[in-house]
């Protein structure tokens, strides 16, 4: 692959998915895209690039983006965000939403579904408090392939051993040979949709909680600022944003502020400024995590 072909693929991936690749990632493109090329009957990256430049090559374009998108996920990943979910976010929202009894949650970049299903398990474990409530979980991803796996709710032995407590595995999954399938009841708690974070969020409506973990790290500064700004516009004024452990809003946007003593948890700046006392009190008394 010559420099011009590499530059074309870098620009193509950035425009289609926001993914930013450094000059040193040529090996990554070759290792991931050569199988895509050969599956399409092409013998080289050069041939793939030439094909991508043809009009109406949408299927190949999608295959290239899917191959280059990182899709690692596992149940209860990093643990802390889910403790925040059960100890801070849900208790606060159960109080503030008591009149409408509805909470909406968005898992952006949901990959193969472990994060939304973890939230579903958390909710199932507190179902005694949720009688009469409507809790919506939307999981989105840019990749059709991983969404199909998420919808199936079927995971390998290795995947269910990564972070999932054995008691929850036995409680909510059924073993089928070498695989484990999550219960139909939990599968029905999550809606799935193909979505690119570079697209407009306008059709989504308002969310009370947004999990956008371990995806901003792949974008450049301008794209991060843009995505965070658009999330702030669909977030309830007293909602919560959850980012990955290596991500932050600091230096990117004034729309969110870090929740005190809560790594990875952010609240809309207007709510933090308008109602500091109850917000800080709830966060301070929920029990230190981490």
Considering the domain architecture, whether residues 61 and 93 belong to the same structural domain is answered as no
Asked if 116 contacts 110 with a C-beta cutoff of 8 angstroms, the reply is yes
The pLDDT of residue 277:
43
CA distance linking residue 36 with residue 59, whole number of Å: 11
Please tell me the distance from the alpha carbon of residue 17 to that of residue 66, in angstroms, as a whole number.
Answer: 9
User: Cα 193 from chain centroid?
Assistant: 12
Q: Show Cβ contacts of residue 44 under 8 Å, excluding neighbours closer than 6 positions.
A: 34, 37
Residue-level pLDDT at 62 = 82
> What's the total number of domains in the chain?
2
Do 86 and 163 lie in one domain? The reply is: yes
**188 and 104 belong to one structural domain:** yes
Q: What is the CATH number of the domain that holds 38?
A: 1.10.155.10
Q: Write down the pLDDT at residue 274.
A: 55
3-state secondary structure of 261: coil
Per the CB < 8 A criterion, the answer to whether 207 and 213 are in contact is no
Determine which helix (DSSP H) or strand (DSSP E) holds 15, and give its type and residue range. helix 3-17
Final residue before a domain boundary, out of 68, 88, 112: 68
In a domain, 84, yes or no: yes
CA pair distance 257, 272, nearest whole angstrom: 7
Is there a domain that residue 205 lies in?
A: yes
45 in any annotated domain = yes
Residue 141 lies in a domain: yes
- Of 18, 36, 68, which residue constitutes the final position of a domain? 68
| Distance from the Cα of residue 73 to its chain's centroid | 9
The dihedral over CA atoms of 152, 156, 161, 164, expressed in degrees to the nearest 10, equals 0
Q: What domain range is 262 assigned to?
A: 80-285
Residues of the chain with pLDDT under 50: 276-290
In whole angstroms, what separates CA 64 from the centre of its chain?
A: 20
Within this chain, do residues 37 and 110 fall inside the same structural domain, yes or no?
no
Do 61 and 89 reside in the same domain of the chain? no
pLDDT, one tens digit per residue, over 85-97 is 999 999 999 999 9
Q: Is residue 161 part of a domain?
A: yes
Residue 290 lies in a domain: no
Q: What distance in Å separates the CA atoms of residue 138 and residue 151, rounded to the nearest whole number?
A: 12
Give yes or no: residues 29 and 86 share one domain.
Answer: no
Residues 98 and 14 in one domain: no
User: What pLDDT is attached to residue 273?
Assistant: 59
Are 107 and 195 within one domain?
A: yes
Does 75 map to a domain? no
Same domain, 28 and 86: no
Residue ending a domain, among 43, 68, 93, is 68
CATH number of domain containing 86? 3.40.50.150
Please tell me whether residues 187 and 142 are part of one structural domain.
yes
| Pairing relationship of beta strands 235-243 and 134-141 according to DSSP bridges | unpaired
The pLDDT assigned to 272 comes to 57
Of 57, 64, 6, the C-alpha closest to 34 is 64
CB 153 within 8 A of CB 121: no
d(CA 4, CA 63) in angstroms, rounded, equals 21
* Torsion sign over Cα 102, 107, 113, 115: negative
Rounded Cα gap, residues 109 and 107, in angstroms: 6
Both 20 and 133 in one domain: the answer is no
Residue 95: both structure tokens together? 């109080």
119 class by beta-carbon count within 10 Å (0-12 exposed, 13-18 middle, 19+ buried): buried
**Looking at the domain assignment, is residue 208 inside a domain?**
yes
32 and 96 in one domain? Answer: no
């Amino acid at each position: 692959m010559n420099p011009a072909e590499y530059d074309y693929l870098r620009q193509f991936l950035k425009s289609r998915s926001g993914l930013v690749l450094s000059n040193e990632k040529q090996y990554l493109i070759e290792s991931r895209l050569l199988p895509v090329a050969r599956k399409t009957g092409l013998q080289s990256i050069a041939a793939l690039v030439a094909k991508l430049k043809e009009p109406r090559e949408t299927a190949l374009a999608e295959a290239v983006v899917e191959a280059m998108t990182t899709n690692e996920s596992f149940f209860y990943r990093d643990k802390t965000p889910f403790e925040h979910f059960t100890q801070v976010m849900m208790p606060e929202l159960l109080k503030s939403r008591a009149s409408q009894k509805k909470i909406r949650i968005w898992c952006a970049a949901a990959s193969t579904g472990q994060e939304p299903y973890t939230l579903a398990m958390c909710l199932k474990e507190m179902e005694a408090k949720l009688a009469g409530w409507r809790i919506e979980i939307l999981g989105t991803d840019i990749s059709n392939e991983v969404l199909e796996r998420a919808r199936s709710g079927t995971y390998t032995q290795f995947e269910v051993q990564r972070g999932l407590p054995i008691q929850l595995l036995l409680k909510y999954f059924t073993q089928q040979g070498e695989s484990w399938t999550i219960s139909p009841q939990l599968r029905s708690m999550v809606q799935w949709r193909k979505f690119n974070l570079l697209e407009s969020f306008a059709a989504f409506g308002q969310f009370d909680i947004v999990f956008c973990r371990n995806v901003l790290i792949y974008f450049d500064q301008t794209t991060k600022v843009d995505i965070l700004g658009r999330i702030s516009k669909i977030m309830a004024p007293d909602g919560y944003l959850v980012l990955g452990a290596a991500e932050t809003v600091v230096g990117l946007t004034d729309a969110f502020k870090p929740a005190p003593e809560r790594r990875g948890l952010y609240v809309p700046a207007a709510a933090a400024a308008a109602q500091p006392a109850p917000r800080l009190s709830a966060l301070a008394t929920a029990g230190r995590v981490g």
